């Protein structure tokens, strides 16, 4: 079979041949039709993601869409290593496949689940968002951030505020439902002041953080200074696109009703994670969730790996 394979540490994936995988006990074989390129796929391919296991060679990709041997169309997640989703065939535990609703196409399903689960599971499973609460999306300008705006509104958020560096992408976030946007420039004090103003103007119940680093520091500081004696702030760390770490002064936690938590692989039991994916796929079309998408054949993976933009969401058509 054809696949995108990383053969050694530090090497990009190469398009080549591998033997067809054989299902083991409790596993099913999937003929893959579509898989999306995400930041998670990139970081696992480079070995920098916390869930990377260091096995070589391995097929890249954590999720995708395909067909079982009986022809059923499914979404699948976390194939058994060293298999991945960027291959003509993969194998996976039968419990980790989800039947696809008829109204959603293969490319759309592949494009929406990874960025969608970042907000869907974070808001439902981790933050336990309630209708009428307010949400700050730190990093609301990428595919995942734009989808987070839509998901938060769909789940009943009364107010959604998005931050980001790209002004054009912030304008898109506003068109998708963000009530207010905050530019993320180089002036950290100005950014904190703008966030603090939003805390004072109605406050926030939940922060979804895709950036970490200093923007997260400043949001936590602003919350500590302005949200005393209010409903506790649930700060959910989803990704670290700005920096992998931050400096957090202890008073920021001791002086405010803030709860810090993460949302990612390992933070949610697998059965509930799969149930969240299932719910997202069922609601994606009726809710009108929008993800800008482009497609390429898998054979182009080497040509675009180093230069592929994060937007629109790039989906590789396979098989």
What average pLDDT does range 201-225 have in this prediction? 94
Task: Give the C-alpha distances (Å, rounded to integers) separating 188 from 6, 215, 216.
Answer: 39, 8, 11
* pLDDT exceeds 90 at position 257: no
60 and 119: one domain?
no
Mean pLDDT of the chain: 93
- Domain end position, chosen among 227, 245, 262: 262
Q: Per the domain annotation, does 270 fall within a domain?
A: no
Nearest to 295, CA basis, from 115, 33, 21: 33
Q: What is the CA radius of gyration of the chain?
A: 20
pLDDT band at 230 (very low <50, low <70, confident <90, very high): low
Residue with tokens 């920021």: 252
pLDDT at 228: 58
175 and 258: one domain?
yes
What is the per-residue pLDDT across 116-162, written as a single tens digit (0 to 9) for each? 989 999 999 999 999 999 999 999 999 999 999 999 999 999 999 99
Domain range enclosing 293: 2-100+289-317
80 and 196: one domain?
no
Q: Per the domain annotation, does 271 fall within a domain?
A: no
Give the Cα separation of 89 and 81 in Å (integer). Answer: 13
pLDDT band at 46 (very low <50, low <70, confident <90, very high): confident
What is the per-residue pLDDT across 67-104, written as a single tens digit (0 to 9) for each? 999 999 999 999 999 999 999 999 999 999 999 999 99
What average pLDDT does range 164-170 have in this prediction? 96
239 and 173: one domain?
yes
142 and 246: one domain?
yes
pLDDT at 256: 83
pLDDT at 264: 86
172 and 309: one domain?
no
Q: Within a 10 A sphere around the Cβ of 259, how many other Cβ atoms?
A: 13
Q: Per the domain annotation, does 105 fall within a domain?
A: no
pLDDT at 55: 81
Q: Per the domain annotation, does 283 fall within a domain?
A: no
What is the per-residue pLDDT across 240-255, written as a single tens digit (0 to 9) for each? 999 999 998 888 888 8
CATH number at residue 176: 3.40.50.720
What is the per-residue pLDDT across 286-310, written as a single tens digit (0 to 9) for each? 999 999 999 999 999 999 998 887 7
220 and 121: one domain?
yes
96 and 180: one domain?
no
pLDDT at 61: 95
Q: Per the domain annotation, does 95 fall within a domain?
A: yes
42 and 141: one domain?
no
pLDDT at 282: 96
CATH number at residue 47: 3.90.180.10
145 and 242: one domain?
yes
Q: Per the domain annotation, does 272 fall within a domain?
A: no
pLDDT at 227: 66
Q: Per the domain annotation, does 284 fall within a domain?
A: no
pLDDT at 229: 59
Number of domains in the chain: 2
Q: Per the domain annotation, does 233 fall within a domain?
A: yes
221 and 126: one domain?
yes
What is the per-residue pLDDT across 180-194, written as a single tens digit (0 to 9) for each? 999 999 899 999 999
Q: Within a 10 A sphere around the Cβ of 103, how many other Cβ atoms?
A: 11
174 and 45: one domain?
no
């Amino acid at each position: 079979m054809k696949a995108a394979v990383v053969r050694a540490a530090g090497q990009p994936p190469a398009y080549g041949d591998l033997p067809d995988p054989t299902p083991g006990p409790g596993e099913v074989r999937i003929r893959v039709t579509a898989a999306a390129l995400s930041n998670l796929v990139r970081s696992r391919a480079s070995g920098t993601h916390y869930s990377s296991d260091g096995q070589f060679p391995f097929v890249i990709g954590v999720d995708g869409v395909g067909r079982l041997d009986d022809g059923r169309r499914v979404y699948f997640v976390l194939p058994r290593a060293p298999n991945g989703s960027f291959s003509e065939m993969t194998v996976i535990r039968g419990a980790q496949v989800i039947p696809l609703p008829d109204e959603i196409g293969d490319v759309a399903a592949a494009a929406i689940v990874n960025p969608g689960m970042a907000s869907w599971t974070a808001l439902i499973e981790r933050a336990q968002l309630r209708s009428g609460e307010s949400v700050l999306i730190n990093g609301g300008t990428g595919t995942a951030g734009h989808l987070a705006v839509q998901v938060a509104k769909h789940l009943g958020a009364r107010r959604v505020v998005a931050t980001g560096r790209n002004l054009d992408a912030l304008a898109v976030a506003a068109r998708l439902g963000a009530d207010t946007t905050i530019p993320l420039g180089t002036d950290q004090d100005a950014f904190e002041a703008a966030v603090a103003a939003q805390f004072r103007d109605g406050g926030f119940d939940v922060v979804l953080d895709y950036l970490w680093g200093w923007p997260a520091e400043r949001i936590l500081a602003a919350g500590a200074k302005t949200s005393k004696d209010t409903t506790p702030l649930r700060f959910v760390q989803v990704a670290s696109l700005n920096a992998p770490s931050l400096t957090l002064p202890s008073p920021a936690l001791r002086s405010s009703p803030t709860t810090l938590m993460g949302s990612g692989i390992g933070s949610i039991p697998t059965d509930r994670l799969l149930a969240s994916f299932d719910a997202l796929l069922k609601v994606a079309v009726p809710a009108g969730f929008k993800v800008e998408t482009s497609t390429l054949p898998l054979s182009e993976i080497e040509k675009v790996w180093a230069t592929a933009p994060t937007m629109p969401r790039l989906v590789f058509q396979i098989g």
